Amino acid sequence: MAENEEDDYMGDLSHFLPPGASSLPSKTASNKPEVPNKKRKVLNWQERKKLKREQKQIEEDQKTLVNLESAIPESNIGFKMLKQMGYTPGSALGKEGSGRSEPVGLEIRRGRAGIGKEDDKVEKMRKEMEKANRDRRTEEELMETFGSHLKERWKDKRIVSNFHKADAVLAQLENREVVTEKKEEEDVGKDEEEEEEEPITEEDLLNTLMRLRDEYHYCLFCGCQYESTEALQSNCPGITEDDH
């Protein structure tokens, strides 16, 4: 008897609960707060009218597209008139059969814009492409201008360099000293300053090259002195550096 009471005591968990708690919470009970039912938005008469009109337009568009997919029945007045004029179903229009064989496609437009007005997305894409093309052309023009500027600078440097080489060879053949810098003294105690030299042009280079060829039968770009004018003309490809 005592053993049964001890078993009942161990099986009854109510002794371990704090005072005021009658039972354990149920496992099936939900702890989520109750969400009040949201009221459905009530449309006013203008919104209901607009929604009804849009639904009607969608139905009309679908009906129109379905009708376009089906062939024109022979009971159609226009079809009868075409047959009387010699039209055969499936053939092209025209006296020689070079016209259109399919009807003109139909594009349903519900906006209020004109016929030539493009779709907003298409127009935006077209403007972006035009802007990209303008930017690309501008970049190409800048690169071309920059390249021509560098080419001119390189050409000027080559002219100056070749002129100094030709002048040095001419001075050596004439047994004279080459003056590389011109200096003058302004006042006692002041540093010497370089005089501003005149820019060397392509004409100056050509004059020096012609003197070497006419007087000494020498070609700067061949790098040798020929025995005679005939040997120079027959063996040298030309006067300028580009000829070589």
pLDDT in tens, 2-17: 445 455 555 555 555 5
What is the pLDDT averaged over residues 160-178?
82
pTM of the complete model beyond 0.85: no
Give the C-alpha separation, 175 to 180, whole Å: 16
Per-residue b/e over 209-219, b at no fewer than 16 CB within 10 Å?
Answer: bebbbeebbbb
Bigger pLDDT: 28 vs 243: 243
- Is residue 166 within 8 A of residue 209, CB to CB? The reply is yes
Cα–Cα distance list, 176 to 136, 168, 170, 213, 221 (Å): 56, 9, 9, 18, 22
- Please list the residues that pair with 139 across neighbouring strands: none
202-232 per-position pLDDT tens digit: 888 888 888 888 888 888 888 888 888 888 8
The pLDDT score that the predictor gives to residue 65 is 80
Give the C-alpha separation, 197 to 75, whole Å: 99
